[in-house]
Structure 1
Amino acid sequence: MKISFIISLLLLNIFLVNAQAIKYSPENPKSGDTIKFSYNPTSTNLNLDFEIECLSVSFTTDFTSKNKKIPLSEKDGLWIGEVITTENTTFVALGFSSKELKDKSEYFIKLTSNNQIPAQAYLSEGYLVGSGRGNALLGIETDTKRALGLYEKAYSIDSNTRNISENSYYTILYKADKIRGKNEIDSKINQINKSGTNSEEDLLTIRSLYTIQNDKVAADSITQLIIKNNPTGVLAYKSDLNSFIRLSDPSQAEDFGLKMISKYKLEENPKSSQDADMIYSFIAEKYVITNDYPNFIKYADLVKNKASVPLLYNKFVTNWLNNNDGTNDQIIELTQNGLKIINELKTQPRPAQYPSDEIYISSLENAESALSDTYANIENRLNNFKEAVSYQERALALSKDKNIVLKEHYVTYLMNDKNYQKAYSLAEESIKTGLASDSLKNNFERLFKILNKEGSAKEYISNLESNSDEKLLSIWKTKMINEPAPSFEAKNLKGEVVKLSDLKGKIVILDFWATWCGPCKKSFPGMNKARIKYANNPNVVFLFVNTWEDMKDREKVVADFIAKNNYDFNVLIDKKSQNDPSKFQMVNDYQVKAIPNKFIIDGRGNIRFNITGSSASEVDIVNEIDAMINLILKD
């Protein structure tokens, strides 16, 4: 009785804290309402020195979800925003963050319809709580048993909702109770087999159920059967697509991609036009690398969704500018055409593949920002400095002034236009907030001298950075953990055996990645700078673990990628487990769910930081690695 009373008090306290942190209007919203809210972060774990950001995750009656960043305005310490719902919206979850910190409290809103909470609202809450997605997006704790109860409540209200949620239900059930999960899954498989339909849809369900149980042998067997029986079906297409995106040679990608478009009749079905666009875009991007303009423009112009074409153009132009001095008429025309397409699209109706006008306009603005930045570079190379400044101001405005690289370019163009004071102020603010690259700091030193500032530029920069460093350390300190790191023994690309046990006394940065992983590759320039910074420190070791790849000549493919990008990385090859060949040993031991995933291990062999995902900003990555290493050294 006493224990129950204490638990009740704890739950009541959590509810009261959440209620104090956020207020809604209307208090009991229904589907279709615009929900206004005010958020008070003072009682939360967020760092109030940084701007508060909000992410909403909303679900509809068909159990589909949409993520959206909610604009906030600050007034008297409260952060105010609103969520617009539709008649089909059943559930909304809000997440708040500042810099790298997330408020882990649950801010859930079940919307009523006909004065009742629909079953789908409970399904949605269960999915967020039990699948791990709520943790990844909003920072909330994963609780499979609670999630299971929410699914069962939904099914008791409306049994038909099981049809739209069975896969996630079985996944969560198996996590919560493996014995019960296996029994129910096996029963479902037997039920499907007895029906005798043998349709691709039924076989895909069986394959998914085997995958939930980590039965790779059975799942692979079903996969082969599905592809054999349905050579132009969903799974066959996914298998071909997987092979296609791994091709690096432009001519091979072109040949394979065109055969896919023909085989699956992608251009004949309007619903498949997006798939055809994706293949044409991929082929065009391969010709970017070789600077093959005729073939690039051939496939870029075959893309029917014109909203994606400007960024394709920008990739070609950016690659050319990075590898050549000056400019040429072709590059100028391609950039101008990209901006022209964007302006034309602004006056046209939103294409069906974009779920909202806001998302469509945002995609156009992102493309315009990138192309404006590129065109500013071109104008700068032509010594048209005022025009370069003007285009860069447009690029920054469209990026909401949050892009570090764009600010760095802006400072450079302002200096070239002899607008030294403005350049100085902008660079000073970037350094103060910890968002300055080495190049920007060098320009700041030049500006310091040009403007005849008193004292030492280096000392002034150091003082500015010290305030920023303290803020960053306070953020990362809240993310520190202390868990034993699984031991490992793996060979690197040189054939040398690397053991964690041999690295005692050293800080180890373990970075899990794959050659197919875009975010991994985007993080590498920053990780390389961090590695170089600590190259002369024998007590800091960077290890890059290649995992989840099983292609032919894997080590050669990985080595070629590293060599091509001039990365001096110590790359470990994660091999298949001898006990379970369906799993890779290290990634399984470290329970990695997604990559990139970094583990920072201290000299005592304990994991102090476990970071999934990565910023693409080199400055952010270096600063974050610095902060984590410094916190470990201070601990």
Structure 2
Amino acid sequence: MRKTFPIILSAVLAAGIQTAHAQKTPAADTLIKRYQGLLKGNDADHAKLETELYALLKTKEEAKWLTASNFFYQLKKVNVSDSIQAAAEKRFPKGTVVRNKAVQLIYDEKDPVKKEAMYKAWIKQFPPKNFNNEQLAYDYARNAVGSAYLEADNIPKALEYANSIQSPFWKGQGWGGTAERLMKKGHYAEAKPLLKKAVDDAWEFKTTRKDEMGAQFAAIGYPGYLSSYVACLFEEKKYDSALIYIKRAEAAENPVRPAVTEMYAKILLSKGDYDTAYAKLSGLAGRGMLNPVTKAQLQEAYGKVRGGNGFETYLDSLRGHLNTNIEAEMAKQIINVPAPAFTLKDVDGNTVSLADLKGKTVILDFWATWCGPCKASFPSMKKAMDKYKDDPNVKFLFIHTWEKEKDATANAKKYVTQNNLPFEVLMDLKDPATGENKVVSSYEVKGIPTKFVIDKNGNIRFRFTGFTAGEDAAVSEVAAMITLANKQ
């Protein structure tokens, strides 16, 4: 039921693909699998893994040093991992660590002309041929240059860089991402051919190229590219052609993403097909996925089909079915494990301990100011909090973790204050000795946003990573988990 968007998904994909380029031999794959097995083992296995990782540092291969750094990080020896990265920077002055540090300067530059000049100097200093022709890092840089030109309204240069992507599995992402930004600026004519290429490319990866490296990632954008392509047809008032393509988008996945239904309804309403629009939007409402736009669309269709009165009552009836269905679904996912204890400071310096909240149902939300999906979930969480504002036995805590800036506490407080979020924010800061964020590690969080529901006895009953796009569905899920946790 839940559409999740873990923040680390693309990073994991990138890491996996880059590793595939760097370590092509079966022996390397076997070694990685061995390390992963030891990582899952006991203390003796961890000790053995450490010994083998230190042995990698005696080699002259940077890839093996970075493998060691990665696994030390997973062993929660963050300082060792960081030390290896720093040593690699000196040991391999023309290697991956130095290259990736240098490219950050390109990302930070805002002026497109300067950015392009820095990119050209960087690619000359670190040519792909020196990195097994691994292109993904270079494609990210190309995309950054093109985006800067697009922001400056230099469309020809933006298109040049959009068409310069080299990694086969990432070409659709380059075309589609550039097209989306073009559309936001009203350049539908320029976006349309990019989207058509992205659609065709994603379709190939779904069908004839599905066994290629990165195919799953390349194919996942298919419904979204189709929906955006339809938006271009809609702007041209080619409604019949738009219907053909939006039907393909609808058939491409189950459940259908809300953006596809929104575009479908837009076409249907323009053609005066209120009955079909009403049926599709009612289905979206029944999943709890309405947003302000689709709610307005449904109200328009409802008025034409059933008359103007009783719309809110109709929505309430759909929400009732939603709550029943979600609670039944959540009941299948309940767990029962002790919640790790913690004591943290909030953004005002007050101390909060989980032990002091025994007897209450506690909802933990791990987040960070740099995490887009975390912040996207906040309107739903604010709505869920409002539902329980008069219940003293339900407590929401928002734990800021994995900070990337020095003033993390001040920035977290500033964010919730400026956005009028009534959240109690606790700071899971890095341990000065180990460099580890201890609470997020103790809860074994792999990506954020991740949320936990802890019952009155201090046991975790639910954990979920990502967020549900529809506010009604998200609130219903939180409410269902709280209800089920309290029944135990």
- Which TM-score bucket, shorter chain as reference? 0.7 to 0.9
1:596 to 445, 449, 456: 449
Q: Which residue of 2 aligns with 1:449?
A: 303
Equivalences for 1:453-472 in 2 at 5 Å?
456-472=310-326
Distance 1:296 1:554 in 2: 34
State the secondary structure of the residue aligned to 1:165: helix
Q: Is the 8 A contact 1:424 1:444 kept in 2?
A: yes
2:135 aligned partner, one-letter code: S
1:182 is matched with 47
- The structure where strand makes up a greater share of residues is 1
Q: CA 1:586/1:260 → structure 2, altered by over 3 Å: closer, same or farther? A: farther
Paired residues of 1:526 and 1:619 also in contact (CA < 8 A): no
Give how far 1:585 is off: 2.6
Q: Distance in 2 between matches of 1:425 and 1:205?
A: 53
Residues 447, 554 of structure 1: alpha-carbon distance in 2 compared, 3 angstrom cutoff = same
In the aligned structure 2, how far is the partner of 1:378 from the partner of 1:568?
A: 40
CA distance in 2, matches of 1:255, 1:447: 53
- The reply on whether 1:488 has 2:488 as its aligned counterpart is no
Query: Are 2:382 and 1:531 equivalent residues in the alignment?
Result: yes
Secondary structure of the corresponding residue to residue 377 of structure 2: helix
> What is the TM-score of this pair, normalised by structure 1?
0.60
- Distance in 2, matches of 1:507 and 1:288, equals 48
Partner of 2:126: 264
Deviation larger for 474-483 or 540-549: 540-549
How is 1:299-378 mapped onto 2 (pairs within 5 angstroms)?
A: 299-304=161-166, 306-320=171-185, 327=186, 331-342=187-198, 355=212, 359=216, 362=219, 365-366=222-223, 368-375=225-232, 378=235
Aligned to 2:10: none
Q: Does 1:426 align with 2:288?
A: no
CA distance in 2, matches of 1:467, 1:515: 35
Task: Tell me the alpha carbon deviations over residues 239-269 of structure 1, each in whole angstroms, 9 at most, x when there is no partner.
Answer: 556x469849566976765554233123887
Structure (1/2) with the larger helix percentage: 2
1:544 aligns with 2:398: yes
Give the Cα–Cα distance (whole angstroms) in 2 for the partners of residues 593 and 174 of structure 1. 15
After superposition, residues 31-180 of structure 1 pair within 5 angstroms as 99=1, 164-179=29-44
In structure 2, the CA distance between the partners of 1:414 and 1:493, relative to structure 1 (3 Å rule), is farther
Q: Percent identity?
A: 23
8 Å CA contact 2:76–2:436 kept in 1: the answer is no
Mark the runs of 5 or more structure 1 residues left unpaired by the alignment.
Answer: 1-98, 102-159, 321-326
Contact 1:523 1:618 in 2 (8 A): no
Residue 217 of structure 1 and its aligned partner are, at CA, apart by 3.9
Structure 2 counterparts to residues 6-21 of structure 1, below 5 A? none
Shift of 1:189: 5.8
Measured in 2, the distance between the counterparts of 1:179 and 1:395 equals 51
State the alpha-carbon separation in 2 of the partners of residues 565 and 303 from structure 1. Answer: 37
Matching of residue 274 in structure 1 with residue 136 in structure 2: yes
CA distance, structure 1, for counterparts of residue 251 and residue 486 of structure 2: 40
- CA deviation after TM superposition for structure 1 residue 526, in Å: 3.5
Q: Shift of the alpha carbon at 1:492?
A: 4.0
Distance 2:152 2:483 in 1: 42
Cα distance in 2 for partners of 1:559, 1:294 equals 42
Q: How far apart are 1:429 and its partner, in Å?
A: 2.7
- Deviation of 1:547 (Å): 1.4
CA distance in 1, matches of 2:325, 2:2: 11
In structure 2, relative to structure 1, the CA distance for the partners of 1:424 and 1:246 (3 Å cut) is same
Q: Which of 82, 88, 95 is residue 220 of structure 1 equivalent to?
A: 82
SS of structure 1 residue aligned to 2:87: helix
- C-alpha root-mean-square deviation of aligned residues, in Å? 4.5
C-alpha distance in 2 between matches for 1:303 and 1:450: 47
Contiguous gaps of at least 5 residues in structure 2? 4-24
- 1:476 equivalent among 324, 330, 333: 330
Q: C-alpha displacement at 1:174, in angstroms?
A: 4.9
Q: In structure 2, what is the equivalent of residue 508 of structure 1? A: 362
SS of residue in 2 equivalent to 1:411: helix
Is the 8 Å Cα contact of residues 602 and 608 (structure 1) preserved in structure 2?
A: yes
Name which of 427, 430, 434 aligns with 1:576: 430
Q: Residues 511-543 of structure 1: CA distance to partner in whole angstroms, max 9, x if unpaired?
A: 2123454xxx23533332331353363235443
- Deviation for aligned residue 1:598: 0.8
SS in 2 for 1:311: helix
Distance 1:197 1:487 in 2: 41
Maintained 8 Å contact 1:545/1:574: yes
Using the alignment, how far apart are the partners of 1:263 and 1:563 within structure 2?
Answer: 44
Query: Do the aligned residues in 1 keep the contact of 2:77 with 2:434 (CA within 8 Å)?
Result: no
SS in 2 for 1:534: helix
Looking at CA atoms only, which structure, 1 or 2, has the larger radius of gyration?
Answer: 1
Measured after TM superposition, the shift of residue 420 of structure 1 is 1.3
Is residue 172–residue 198 contact of structure 2 (8 Å, CA) maintained in 1? yes
Q: Does 1:607 align with 2:460?
A: yes
Report Cα offsets for 1:483-510 as digits up to 9, x if no partner. Answer: 4433434344455554445656654332
Q: Output the CA distance in 2 between the equivalents of 1:526 and 1:184.
A: 38
Native 8 Å contact 1:491 1:573 kept in 2? yes
The structure whose RCO (Cα within 8 Å, separation 6+) is larger is 2
Distance in 2 (alpha carbons) for counterparts of 1:541 and 1:253: 47
Say if 1:404 and 1:435, in contact at 8 Å, map to a contact too.
yes
Change (3 A) 1:561 1:313: farther
Encode CA deviations 1:294-335: one digit per residue, 9 max, x unaligned.
764464344345533321223313543xxxxxx4xxx12222
The separation in 1 between residues aligned to 2:73 and 2:403, in whole angstroms, is 18
